Structure 1
Amino acid sequence: MTEAVTTVTASLNKFEKFKAEKDGLAVKAEIEKFASIGWEAMDETDRDHRLKWVGVFFRPVTPGKFMMRMRMPNGIVTAAQMRVLAEVVQRYGDDGSADITTRQNIQLRGIRIEDLPEIFHKFHTVGLTSVQSGMDNVRNITGDPVAGLDADELFDTRELVQQIQDMLTNKGQGNPEFTNLPRKFNIAITGGRDNSVHAEINDLAFVPAFHEYGEVGRLGDGEKDFTPTPYNSSSKVFGFNILVGGFFSAKRCEAAIPLDAWVSPADVVAVCRAVLEVFRDHGLRANRQKSRLMWLIDEWGLEKFRSEVEQRLGKPLLPAAPKDEIDWEKRDHIGVYKQKQPELNYVGLHIPVGRLTAEDMFEIARLADVYGNGEIRLTVEQNVIIPNIPDSRLVLFLAEPLLEKFSIDPQPLRRSLVSCTGAQFCNFALIETKNRALNIIKALEEDLELTRPVRIHWTGCPNSCGQPQVADIGLMGTKARKNGKAVEGVDIYMGGKVGKEAHLGTCVQKGIPCEDLQPVLRDLLIQHFGAKPRQEALVTH
């Protein structure tokens, strides 16, 4: 760790001061002690902040009941792992549940501090980790949800994503090299044509691009391991164009910008390390509202930032390929699809707002074992994919009762609904989101007919975990006024686009009371998305 990172000065904010006093990973050795003394007797900084370095989050709205955030690189989990997660949730009855996040991850709710030693032991037995999943660490690394399954993919992201995770976390044990970043950091890598990872909202993203072989020259020892043979030719070499600086915060939201750099798959992990080292050692730390990577790029300029990355990398980066290969509209993977493996299929299940009970999780694990090969995939739309289902088993699979709850053909509004945790469990949220989102969508579907999905995203606060800026209609929790009183409300965003030519939406209306929201959404859907009132609704209006 450099002197620049560890020096404590009077100008440091409180977060930098407590990080300098004690590394967050130090609490790994104190879990048994915390379990024995209980949450109320813990040092407040350990409880409220440092526990996040091992994926445990104190929630003031549910005191004594913690949240746990996992690390699931590329959104891949096994049936055995899912059962362990279900066992953990099941232990807490009505207080226990799990949420699929917008980073292909799972969060567990209702956790008690006294159970942490046993929970961590269970995780270890099946290869799960929650290390470095909160605070100033790299968050879950996202990749294509159908990597290795999709016949049209240009690159299978799974191995690279796992290598990045192993580098960052010391194979799940914790890595002090990267536990003191100036702020959180998001990485995504996509090998498909539809930008399934929302590259534009990540601090560092890799998108597929072919370079002229003459430009690339010798790729290095890793070429044989990573260059996808079907797309190799004498004139073109596969790799990635690099995007940097995308983020959402209460103060500012920015789409990632091109670094004007191309990298072979063999160098992706090294580039991640180099970028993170530059951010760690030079990122802005005085004001946490100005500590994400884009603020450093603004201060230095893109040319200096790239030069610093090259110095850490130990070689120059090639200029970006003239164009990337993101040329498809975004897919949601809900439904039944043929895999590139003969006679195998993957099936995408719609999980309403990503909420799972222990019973749901056990049943998903059973289906993955009985019909597939025990593998489960998660998507950034908070849904589940079960791959490797043989043609001969598909009819039986589709008749399973769970598919009545988790449909493969949901109605258009429900299909694309995304929601953050909301005020039910999160102390940052200004409004309740998940249940309200489902109730309003149900009412709108009864009232309107739509011919295509409309992506409606809910987020409880300006931290934007629900990503309203990428939605067709984004709803951000706020406090509104009605009849002179403060009430729960939303600011409305529109115009977000995903897939090819992705860009962020903008705020079009502010302070709409939630109790008045349904007719506002109804009008927006009719005016902008071709919705029509159902005939029976016309009679009653």
Structure 2
Amino acid sequence: MTSVISNQSSSKNKFEKFKAEKDGLMVKNELDRFAQVGWEAMDETDRDHRLKWVGVFFRPVTPGKFMLRMRMPSGVLNSHQMRVLAEIVQRYGEDGNADITTRQNLQLRGIRIEDIPDIFDRLKAADMTSVQSGMDNVRNITASPIAGLDADELIDARELVQQVQDMITNSGEGNPEFTNLPRKFNIAIEGGRDNSVHAEINDIAFVPAFKDEVLGFNVLVGGFFSAKRCAAAIPLNAWVSPEEVVALCRAILEVYRDHGLRANRQKARLMWLIDEWGMDKFRAAVVEQMGCTLQPAAPEDEIDWDKRDHIGVYPQKQAGLNYVGLHVPIGRLYAPDMFEIARLAEVYGNGEIRLTVEQNLIIPNIPDSRLDAFLQEPILEKFSIAPTPLVRSLVSCTGSQFCNFALIETKNRALSLIKELEAELELSRPIRVHWTGCPNSCGQPQVADIGLMGTKVRKDGKAAEGVDIYMGGKVGKDAVLGSCVQKGIACDDLKPVLRELMIAHFDAKPKEETMV
């Protein structure tokens, strides 16, 4: 492995150089020392980069206060775990909050390096980890948020997701085999019919498919967003049984690790390697790495439903039980919210909580006899089961409030602007509006009906916050990525532009017209 990577890295960028000097995972053994010396006395590369290998992110916009990104396979946690996370963020005042991400996990804000050893002890005791959740590692592995609950699902993917995570992270202890990928890497396993995981934007995606009446998965590879390029995943021409999922993930990761492009980080994602080699060569390398043959893909997969957002009340496949999807505006939770969600999950359900890629949450396993009482709980006024159409489908990345990559403030602006538009427009259906603060596309504007990507513009001769507008993204069956249709709109001028787009393309009507 080492010789191959070294050959690929003859003209190393600064990231490859510091990875060669010291594996990022090695900071796991230095956390006590970091806590003692404090963030200002730390080696800058350790602080700014290597800490991300254990899920700790230095943020120059909030110096001394770090972000902690959790791993939550399939977006599942329990009430005790939610309470532990609430206790962690509770102590950090106005900076203490948690954001639900578009990969079904939580990011905690306001963390001090001095508290990391104690926090990690708490996480381990609660069977949680943040290891390998940043930089050149495999990110949180996603699945349907109603896996195991959905009467129409084909396979409950939760156990497969856990097996893949355990392989990659050595069951949460950290695994040096996969800590030096060329770039970040996303994996999703879909067990339902509606492509809840956005298969098209993952480096590896498994979608259910029957072959010779046996249920397995067709495999897609290479999907990604970056500042340089966005590409939808393409077929590997492979069908695998559930028992082969982990082995195929390992083989693809090993091929990517050993042969992926490393000179230019903007051309280092998996798809660039596939482009350079061609699919036939890439597939052959994966087969050789697996040490066995791969069956050709099934002619058709089973993704044949429009995508669901799971907000509201739904019966489970378990008789007499229900899951309730709560809308969390812009995905942000504060400690009191987290404690209350934990309480609701315990009192009305079995303590389980699910997160969605739309930045919302689900409380499952609520008996029919407790449903009415649950729906009377005051927190449902904040986290609605029937939000208004534009708010319902709003997604936003962190934005410049906490992220130094973001070029604009997103979350608060997104919510305020969407509420203003709802006050002026009558809508016949939801419009999916996604905000992202920079070209890294954490808010996934390319999968939205209307996507807004932060940029800098000139207005009245001065630099100002602005957006590029994307349209045409489709999710669910036959998903496609949207494209940029307008560039450089100042955020202060955005509302009338969005208003006209919604009227022209999404059948919105000004409220004064509907009253005539």
Structures share fold, TM-score greater than 0.5: yes
Deviation at 1:534, TM superposition (A): 1.0
Residue number in structure 1 paired with 2:273: 296
CA deviations on 1:436-479 (whole Å, 9 max, x unpaired) are 00110110010011011100000000000000000000000001
Residue number in structure 1 paired with 2:56: 56
Which residue, 367, 390, 394 being the options, matches 1:390?
A: 367
Deviation at 1:14, TM superposition (A): 0.8
Residue number in structure 2 paired with 1:87: 87
C-alpha root-mean-square deviation of aligned residues, in Å? 1.1
Which residue, 346, 355, 373 being the options, matches 1:378?
A: 355
Residue number in structure 2 paired with 1:76: 76
Check conservation: 2:8, 2:263, Cα contact below 8 A: no
Rounded Cα–Cα distance in structure 2 between residues aligned with 1:518 and 1:423? 20
* 1:161 lines up with 2:156 in the alignment: no
3-state secondary structure, aligned to 1:142: coil
* 1:254 lines up with 2:227 in the alignment: no
* 1:526 lines up with 2:495 in the alignment: no
CA deviations on 1:409-456 (whole Å, 9 max, x unpaired) are 000000000000000000000000000001101100100110111000
Rounded Cα–Cα distance in structure 1 between residues aligned with 2:78 and 2:512? 46
CA deviations on 1:254-307 (whole Å, 9 max, x unpaired) are 000011110000100000000000000000001100000000000000000000
- For residue 162 of structure 2, what is the amino acid of its counterpart? Q
* 1:66 lines up with 2:58 in the alignment: no
Check conservation: 1:371, 1:389, Cα contact below 8 A: yes
Check conservation: 1:470, 1:498, Cα contact below 8 A: yes
Check conservation: 1:206, 1:243, Cα contact below 8 A: yes
Rounded Cα–Cα distance in structure 2 between residues aligned with 1:408 and 1:421? 23
Rounded Cα–Cα distance in structure 2 between residues aligned with 1:524 and 1:434? 21
Which aligned pairs between 1:401-440 and structure 2 lie closer than 5 A? 401-440=378-417
Rounded Cα–Cα distance in structure 1 between residues aligned with 2:162 and 2:6? 29
CA deviations on 1:367-403 (whole Å, 9 max, x unpaired) are 0000000000000000000000000000000000010
Check conservation: 2:194, 2:476, Cα contact below 8 A: yes
Deviation at 1:484, TM superposition (A): 1.9
Rounded Cα–Cα distance in structure 1 between residues aligned with 2:459 and 2:74? 44
Rounded Cα–Cα distance in structure 1 between residues aligned with 2:387 and 2:363? 17
Check conservation: 1:73, 1:141, Cα contact below 8 A: yes
Check conservation: 1:12, 1:285, Cα contact below 8 A: yes
- For residue 371 of structure 1, what is the amino acid of its counterpart? Y
Percent identity for Structure 1 against Structure 2: 78
Which residue, 266, 271, 296 being the options, matches 2:248?
A: 271
Rounded Cα–Cα distance in structure 2 between residues aligned with 1:347 and 1:381? 15
Check conservation: 2:8, 2:262, Cα contact below 8 A: no
3-state secondary structure, aligned to 1:480: strand
Which aligned pairs between 1:174-253 and structure 2 lie closer than 5 A? 174-212=174-212, 236-253=213-230
Residue number in structure 2 paired with 1:219: none
Check conservation: 2:9, 2:262, Cα contact below 8 A: no
TM-score by length of 2: 0.99
Rounded Cα–Cα distance in structure 1 between residues aligned with 2:137 and 2:10? 24
Rounded Cα–Cα distance in structure 2 between residues aligned with 1:9 and 1:482? 43
Check conservation: 2:9, 2:263, Cα contact below 8 A: no
- Go from structure 1 to structure 2 and tell me whether the alpha carbon gap of 1:187 and 1:9 turns closer, same or farther (over 3 Å shift): closer
CA deviations on 1:480-525 (whole Å, 9 max, x unpaired) are 1212222100000000000000000010000000000001000011
Rounded Cα–Cα distance in structure 1 between residues aligned with 2:11 and 2:257? 18
3-state secondary structure, aligned to 1:440: helix
Structure 2 gaps of 5+ residues are none
Deviation at 1:10, TM superposition (A): 5.4
- For residue 118 of structure 1, what is the amino acid of its counterpart? D
CA deviations on 1:75-112 (whole Å, 9 max, x unpaired) are 00110000011011101011111100000010000000
- For residue 411 of structure 1, what is the amino acid of its counterpart? T
* 1:336 lines up with 2:313 in the alignment: yes
Check conservation: 2:71, 2:130, Cα contact below 8 A: yes
3-state secondary structure, aligned to 2:193: coil
- For residue 343 of structure 2, what is the amino acid of its counterpart? R
Residue number in structure 2 paired with 1:226: none
Rounded Cα–Cα distance in structure 2 between residues aligned with 1:154 and 1:355? 32
Residue number in structure 1 paired with 2:457: 480
Which aligned pairs between 1:343-358 and structure 2 lie closer than 5 A? 343-358=320-335
Check conservation: 1:8, 1:17, Cα contact below 8 A: no
3-state secondary structure, aligned to 2:373: helix
Residue number in structure 2 paired with 1:20: 20
Structure 1 gaps of 5+ residues are 213-235
Larger mean Cα displacement after TM superposition, 115-124 or 527-536: 527-536
Rounded Cα–Cα distance in structure 2 between residues aligned with 1:17 and 1:482? 40
Deviation at 1:7, TM superposition (A): 6.5
Rounded Cα–Cα distance in structure 1 between residues aligned with 2:389 and 2:161? 32
Residue number in structure 1 paired with 2:135: 135
Rounded Cα–Cα distance in structure 1 between residues aligned with 2:134 and 2:87? 23
Rounded Cα–Cα distance in structure 2 between residues aligned with 1:194 and 1:71? 24
Residue number in structure 1 paired with 2:294: 317
- Go from structure 1 to structure 2 and tell me whether the alpha carbon gap of 1:309 and 1:9 turns closer, same or farther (over 3 Å shift): closer
Rounded Cα–Cα distance in structure 1 between residues aligned with 2:414 and 2:191? 32
Check conservation: 2:432, 2:449, Cα contact below 8 A: yes
- For residue 148 of structure 2, what is the amino acid of its counterpart? G
- For residue 279 of structure 1, what is the amino acid of its counterpart? Y
CA deviations on 1:21-52 (whole Å, 9 max, x unpaired) are 11111101100000000000000000000000
TM-score by length of 1: 0.94
Deviation at 1:3, TM superposition (A): 2.1
Check conservation: 1:195, 1:500, Cα contact below 8 A: yes
Check conservation: 1:336, 1:408, Cα contact below 8 A: yes
Which aligned pairs between 1:479-518 and structure 2 lie closer than 5 A? 479-518=456-495
Between Structure 1 and Structure 2, how many residues are aligned? Answer: 516
Deviation at 1:143, TM superposition (A): 0.4
Check conservation: 1:131, 1:173, Cα contact below 8 A: yes
